[in-house]
A and B are shown apart, each in its own frame.
Chain A
Amino acid sequence: MMSTPSPVRGAAIGMLFDDFFRSEYPRLVPMLHGVVGDRGQAEDLAQEALAIAQREWGKVSGYELPGAWVRRVALNRASNVRRRRDREVVALRRAGDPEPTVEEPAAVDTHLWRLVSALPLRQRGAVALHYIEDRPLHEVAEILECSEGSVKTHLSRARETLARQLDVSRKEATP
């Protein structure tokens, strides 16, 4: 459906919020799915982040990087999702559930994305932005507000962990 990522840089000045939503929502949902490992939570997160953008549209539309801003808000809120999910599991255990489980991801490569969702937040954010949104390193760095070197580090650590867990080889390709 989308072969190229949305531009994170570019004036949204004059852009209607509805158009911003139509552009970003379909891209945010798969990316956040990779981050939290759950489709429903990804849709909720995308809507929450865009709802904030809508309420702040007077400011956000003037930002140099409105797409980056909404991704940062979504990723920030994703950390709370994981904590909430962890608490739900604890609650299930306390209730005596013999095999507490979190909600199953609904989409493809379930096992892989579940492993990704267990990585530290900045690693999974980098993985999702680079591999799912297909963004080059400099755009991932802009969104995560770090250097390209840091993005490379996050991706390398993530690949190392995932390769070990999946028992696959790890050729260090330059992304």
Chain B
Amino acid sequence: MSDIDELLRDAGARLRRTAPSASATENALTTLGDVRVVGSGDQDHRRRWIVPALLAAAAVVVGLVVVNRPADEAIEPVDTTPPAIETVPTTAPPTVPTTVAMAAPWVDIPFEGMMAPPCCAEMEIEPVSPALTPDGEPLADGRYPAEIVEWSADDPTRLVIAVHRFVPCTIELTADCYPDEAGAFPPGAVGTSPETRTIELRLDGSVDALLVGMDPSAPPEVEAATVRRSSDGTGLAQLLTEVAHAYDTTIAAPITTGTPIEDVVADLQQTPRDGFSSAQEGFIGQLFYSPSDGAPAILFQGVADQGAPLPRSGTSAIIFGGVEVDEGRMALHLYAGFRS
């Protein structure tokens, strides 16, 4: 009986020795122009969605992603520093509520049509976004890539977002566009325009929140089981507040007092509490956080060692995908958990 670790090391070394020769590599380089990149082809011509495990993978992955902007995707940043933050009119006045608003319950919604952060050289497919309206005016009906600029538990119903536009891919437009060898793009491929409009929203009943999260009860053989639920802005504000508080008290606090992050994570995996449980069974991360209000579980794929100072904010696990406006009503598309 041999040991599996030793067996893998030996087999890995043997496979490593099968690396293409210098001449084979030169041949591959010479023919690189003939390579047809098909990842955005076949079924991927449909609207893109990120498989959490990649990428998680994934995602991978990847997914393998930093808060709002994964390191391996759309690394060329768009300009998110507009001259001024403005407030879009909503049905409720932009004031901090003094009473606790009743949130809409989280209910299951179809997967189709959800927007996700761009990832890993895959492209979004139509529709193109309408022109960004002038400051002070509501956004026109349509879909827009967007990202969170500012949110704080101190004022949980205030959300500042940077809104961009989906525009047809061209060679000159590089953000989220990946041309094939002929300089062409899949039909309907859109990328992110550098145009930016920063908007301050009030998370209340006038805004919808669509959240893709995880299903901790999925069987272990399922690589990444997702659930999609929606609530309103009030529900989102309460969720963000709850997650931030849970992270601060259960994860950040012991880190601050010197407990190694690995120990904190291992302890929560072994002894689930305060909404946290192990996400190892599905091989997709370290921890789940299961909200108390029926929102999808949030995946903390990695809690530490991401190159950023600790402790991090729990809300960094909730990633903005974009904004959809339908008959004047705004829906925020969010993804609960690539990296944290």
Q: Which residues of A contact B297 (CB under 8 A)?
A: none
Bound CA–CA A27/B28 (angstroms) = 13
Q: Which residues of A contact B142 (CB under 8 A)?
A: none
Bound CA–CA A8/B72 (angstroms) = 13
Per-residue interface assignment for chain B, residues 227 to 254, with 1 indicating a CB less than 8 Å from any chain A CB and 0 otherwise: 0000000000000000000000000000
| Contact residues of B: prevailing secondary structure | loop
| Distance of B37 from chain A, by nearest CB (Å) | 5
The 8 Å CB contact of B25, one of A21, A30, A173, is A21
Per-residue interface assignment for chain A, residues 146 to 162, with 1 indicating a CB less than 8 Å from any chain B CB and 0 otherwise: 11111001100101001
With A25-B28, A113-B15 in contact, is A122–B8 under 8 Å at CB? no
| Distance of A175 from chain B, by nearest CB (Å) | 7
Segment among B80-88, B126-134, B204-212, B303-311 that sits at the interface with chain A = B303-311
B29 in contact with A18 (CB, 8 Å)? yes
Q: Which residues of B contact A43 (CB under 8 A)?
A: 20, 28
Q: For the complex, is A91 an interface residue (Cβ under 8 Å from B)? A: no
| Distance of A91 from chain B, by nearest CB (Å) | 13
Total CB contacts across the A-B interface at under 8 A: 254
B276-333 with Cβ < 8 A to chain A = 280, 283-286, 301-306
| Distance of B96 from chain A, by nearest CB (Å) | 36
| Distance of A142 from chain B, by nearest CB (Å) | 8
| Distance of A3 from chain B, by nearest CB (Å) | 9
With A108-B14, A131-B12, A159-B5 in contact, is A153–B283 under 8 Å at CB? yes
Interface residues of B (CB under 8 A from A): 1-9, 11-22, 25-26, 28-29, 31-32, 35, 37-39, 42, 44, 51, 53-66, 70-72, 75-76, 119-122, 174, 178-179, 181, 223, 261-262, 265-266, 280, 283-286, 301-306, 339
Would you list 21 pairs from A and B whose C-beta atoms are within 8 A, ordered by A residue? A1-B19, A21-B32, A26-B20, A27-B19, A30-B18, A34-B12, A51-B32, A73-B120, A76-B39, A76-B59, A76-B63, A79-B51, A109-B14, A120-B223, A121-B56, A121-B61, A123-B283, A153-B280, A170-B5, A171-B4, A173-B5
